[in-house]
Amino acid sequence: MAGVTLEHITKRYGDLVTVKDLNLDVKDQEFLVLVGPSGCGKSTTLRMIAGLEDISSGNLFIGGRRVNDVAPKDRDIAMVFQSYALYPHMSVYDNMAFGLKLRHTPKEQIKKRVQEAAQMLEIGHLLDRKPKALSGGQRQRVALGRAIVREPKVFLMDEPLSNLDAKLRVQTRTQISKLHQRLQTTVIYVTHDQTEAMTMADRIVVLKDGLLQQEPSAPQELYDHPENMFVAGFIGSPPMNFFDATVTGSGENLILDAGSFQLAVPPMYNHDMAPYTGKEVVFGIRPEHISDARYTDAHINASNKAVVNVEVVEPMGSEVYIYLSSGAQSFQARVDSRTRVRPSDQIEVVFDVDHLHVFDKQTQVSVLKRANVERPNRS
């Protein structure tokens, strides 16, 4: 087992810099998820750790050893890709055993490891089949098995679930989480799917344009305290709503004026927002912190209201997603399933201002200092 450290890692292709001065400390046995939009440098980062891509500058350590110049096969890592690329003419058993045979592992040991891995992945009954006789999910489990039998110090996974349909993706996701608990190995997992990141990670690394967006943090911490608009909008589904607003009022009574409605700024934000008085900001609020005024929880301050237009209604069973508009602003709310509204209705909604996020309009960085934000522990 081993930790992985990236020290000022940069990747250049000619003039194009695709990973920019990345510093990461992946702890031993940690499940770290790299997430970000297409092209942000996730695969490049993973491939540099694997040794499949040269590092332009910086140092890479696996288990305390500098490995910049160590061949991939000697790095004690195993990689699982999106396309599982099994050998079609070999049985599941032989596919899983192949890497070990190449390394001249004794036959008995190969058998033991393949059987253990197959049992863990619930593919023990499929060992004699050829890949073409397997479902997509089963094939992906064989690919995982092939990595497990190597008993690597670090698993690297690049979007291993993206070829699976929605249901299988959720199942296999759970299986990988269980596997991690059982094997207690370091995992670095790449995805563009924030739900996978939220559900699987010990800590999440958000990348955009090759740049780290926020100190790697636990999923809930990123969700509750995003440090810029990109992280705020990327983590969470449906995503956070953003509104242009002007800070008005004075002293203890600051107001966020969004044009068609106004919100009273909670006292805990006064200190950080005072310098923005008279200026424009962007405030953010998640869909679950906007409620139908008729069903707002008693402990939420209900005075921050707006009358809004209903555009689209999506019943989800346990709750209802509604798309709303107020003046020029469109936004989304997740409201109580008792809310029976129809498109073009007008309703009154309450904004739970204890869960506001406020960003500098130019820099898009949060103006609220983490130390000053103590949000009530309710959703």
Ligand X SMILES: Nc1ncnc2c1ncn2[C@@H]1O[C@H](COP(=O)(O)OP(=O)(O)OP(=O)(O)O)[C@@H](O)[C@H]1O
Task: Considering the complex, state which of residue 96 and residue 143 has its C-beta at the smaller distance from Mg ion.
Answer: 143
Structure tokens given for 176: 């990988």
b/e sequence 198-210, b meaning 16+ C-beta within 10 Å: bebbbbbbbbbeb
Nearest to 186 by CA among 76, 23, 95, 284: 76
DSSP-derived letter for residue 67 is -
Q: What is the CA radius of gyration of the chain?
A: 25
Q: Select the binding partner of residue 16 from Mg ion, ligand X, none (C-beta < 5 to 8 A, by kind).
A: ligand X
Among 24, 31, 32, 44, binds ligand X (CB under 6 A): 44
The count of chain residues that interact with ligand X, using the rule CB under 6 A, is: 12
When binding is defined by CB under 6 A, the residue of 32, 42, 150, 219 that contacts ligand X is: 42
Q: Does 278 bind ligand X (CB under 6 A)?
A: no
Residue corresponding to tokens 């305290």:
225
Q: Interface with Mg ion by CB under 5 A: which range of 21-29, 37-45, 254-262, 362-370?
A: 37-45
Residues 172-231 that bind ligand X (CB under 6 A): 192
Minimum separation from the CB atom of position 55 to ligand X (A) = 13
Asked if residue 13 binds ligand X (CB under 6 A), the reply is yes
Q: How far apart are CA 192 and CA 168, in angstroms?
A: 17
- Least separation in angstroms between residue 88's CB and ligand X is 25
| The one segment of 38-46, 199-207, 220-228, 258-266 that binds Mg ion by CB under 5 A | 38-46
CA dist 219 and 33 (Å) reads: 10
Q: In this complex, which beta carbon is closest to ligand X, that of residue 192 or of residue 375?
A: 192
User: Of these, 1, 12, 23, 39, which contacts ligand X (CB under 6 A)?
Assistant: 39
Of 43, 45, 172, 339, the one binding Mg ion by CB under 5 A: 43
Question: Where in the chain does DSSP place strands (E)?
Answer: 4-13, 16-26, 31-35, 57-62, 65-66, 77-80, 154-158, 186-191, 203-208, 211-212, 241-250, 253-257, 262-264, 280-285, 290-292, 305-315, 319-326, 329-336, 346-351, 357-360
When the beta carbons of 48 and 350 are compared against ligand X, the nearer one is: 48
What is the contact surface with ligand X in residues (CB under 6 A)? 13, 16, 18, 36, 38-44, 192
What is the contact surface with Mg ion in residues (CB under 5 A)? 43
